[in-house]
Amino acid sequence: MERLQKVMAMAGVASRRQCENLIREGRVKVNGEWVTAPGMKVDPRKDVIEVDGEPVFLEEKRTFLFYKPSGVITSMSDPRGRKTVADFFRDIPERVFPVGRLDYDTEGLLLVTNDGELANRLLHPRFEVEKVYVATVRGKPDKAAIRTLREGVRLEDGMTAPAKVRVLEASDSRSRLELTIHEGRNRQVRRMCAAVGHPVIHLKRTRLAFLTLSGLRRGEYRELTPQEVKRLRSRMGL
pLDDT digits (tens, 9 = 90+) for 82-123: 999 999 999 998 889 999 999 999 999 999 999 888 998 999
- Residues 110, 175 within the same domain: no
Which among 39, 55, 71 is the end of a domain?
A: 55
Q: Is residue 223 part of a domain?
A: no
Q: Is residue 221 part of a domain?
A: no
Alpha helices in 35-160 (DSSP H): 116-123, 143-151
Residue 147 has pLDDT above 80, yes or no: yes
Q: Is 78 marked active-site? A: no
Mean pLDDT computed over 182-195: 95
Q: Is residue 217 part of a domain?
A: no
Number of domains in the chain: 3
% of the chain exceeding 70 in pLDDT: 100
Give how far Cα 103 sits from Cα of 41, 108, 205, 236, Å: 35, 10, 11, 24
Q: Read off the pLDDT band of 188 (50, 70, 90).
A: very high
Residue 41 has pLDDT above 80, yes or no: yes
Q: Which residue has the higher pLDDT, 144 or 45?
A: 144
- Residues 204, 147 within the same domain: yes
Residue 28 has pLDDT above 90, yes or no: yes
Predicted local confidence at residue 9, as pLDDT: 84
Residue 211 has pLDDT above 80, yes or no: yes
Predicted local confidence at residue 162, as pLDDT: 96
Predicted local confidence at residue 112, as pLDDT: 97
Q: Is residue 155 part of a domain?
A: yes
Predicted local confidence at residue 113, as pLDDT: 94
- Residues 134, 202 within the same domain: yes
Mean pLDDT computed over 163-176: 97
What is the separation of C-alpha 93 from the centre of its chain, rounded to a whole number of angstroms?
21
**What single letter denotes the amino acid at residue 121?**
R
CATH of the domain at 80: 3.30.70.580
Residue 12 has pLDDT above 80, yes or no: no
Q: Read off the pLDDT band of 206 (50, 70, 90).
A: very high
Residue 224 has pLDDT above 80, yes or no: yes
Q: Is residue 135 part of a domain?
A: yes
Q: Is 43 exposed, middle or buried (0-12, 13-18, 19+ CB in 10 A)?
A: exposed
Predicted local confidence at residue 230, as pLDDT: 96
Q: Is residue 71 part of a domain?
A: yes
Q: Is residue 214 part of a domain?
A: no
Instruction: Residue 179: give the domain boundaries.
Output: 130-208
Predicted local confidence at residue 144, as pLDDT: 97
Predicted local confidence at residue 85, as pLDDT: 97
Q: Considering 87, 103, 105, 115, which one is annotated as catalytic?
A: 103
3-state helix, strand, coil in the chain (%, to 5): 25, 30, 45
Q: What is the mean pLDDT of the chain?
A: 94
- Residues 136, 183 within the same domain: yes
The residue among 21, 207, 19 whose CA lies nearest residue 95 is 19
Alpha helices in 132-196 (DSSP H): 143-151, 188-195
CATH of the domain at 29: 3.10.290.10
Mean pLDDT computed over 158-173: 97
Q: Is residue 213 part of a domain?
A: no
**Is-contact 85 110, C-beta < 8 A?**
yes
Mean pLDDT computed over 141-152: 97
3-class secondary structure, 6? helix
Predicted local confidence at residue 199, as pLDDT: 98
3-class secondary structure, 179? strand
